[in-house]
């Protein structure tokens, strides 16, 4: 996790449910931005974890038409139900996030 002022980002990497479950024991998981774990597979971003992190923004890193089917519709639906504005690199390409300590802003395609 990286924090700057009242903004923060949680970078899950390839974390799946066992790691997320362990992270639930840590204080201060709430983040402005979540880099969704394991490319948006159903083995990550479990409901309890998403509720604790409570991000306003999320980014999923995965390739277009990958043979794993990432990101999974279940994960996208959970993020949408939680009102998390989500970008996925398979459809959005690169996205830059600017955290200025007070707000989070995006710049699609990192122009």
Query: Mind listing the pLDDT tens digit for each residue in 83-106?
Result: 999 999 999 888 899 999 999 998
Kindly report the pTM of this predicted structure. 0.91
Choose among 55, 86, 83: nearest CA to 72: 86
Q: Contact, 10 vs 41, CB < 8 A?
A: no
**111 confidence band (pLDDT: 50, 70, 90):** low
pLDDT 10s digits, 18-29 = 999 999 999 999
User: Residue 19 is inside which H or E element, if any?
Assistant: helix 17-23
The answer to whether residue 5 scores a pLDDT higher than 90 is yes
Which pLDDT belongs to residue 57? 97
């Amino acid at each position: 996790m990286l924090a700057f002022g009242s903004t923060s980002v949680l970078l899950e990497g390839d974390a799946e449910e066992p790691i997320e479950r362990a992270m639930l024991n840590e204080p201060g998981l709430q983040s402005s931005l979540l880099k969704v774990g394991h490319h948006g597979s159903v083995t990550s971003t479990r409901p309890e974890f998403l509720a604790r992190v409570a991000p306003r923004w999320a980014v999923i890193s995965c390739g277009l038409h990958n043979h794993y089917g990432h990101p999974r519709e279940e994960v996208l639906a959970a993020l949408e139900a939680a009102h998390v504005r989500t970008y996925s690199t398979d459809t959005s390409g690169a996205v830059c996030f600017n955290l200025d300590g007070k707000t989070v802003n995006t710049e699609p395609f990192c122009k």
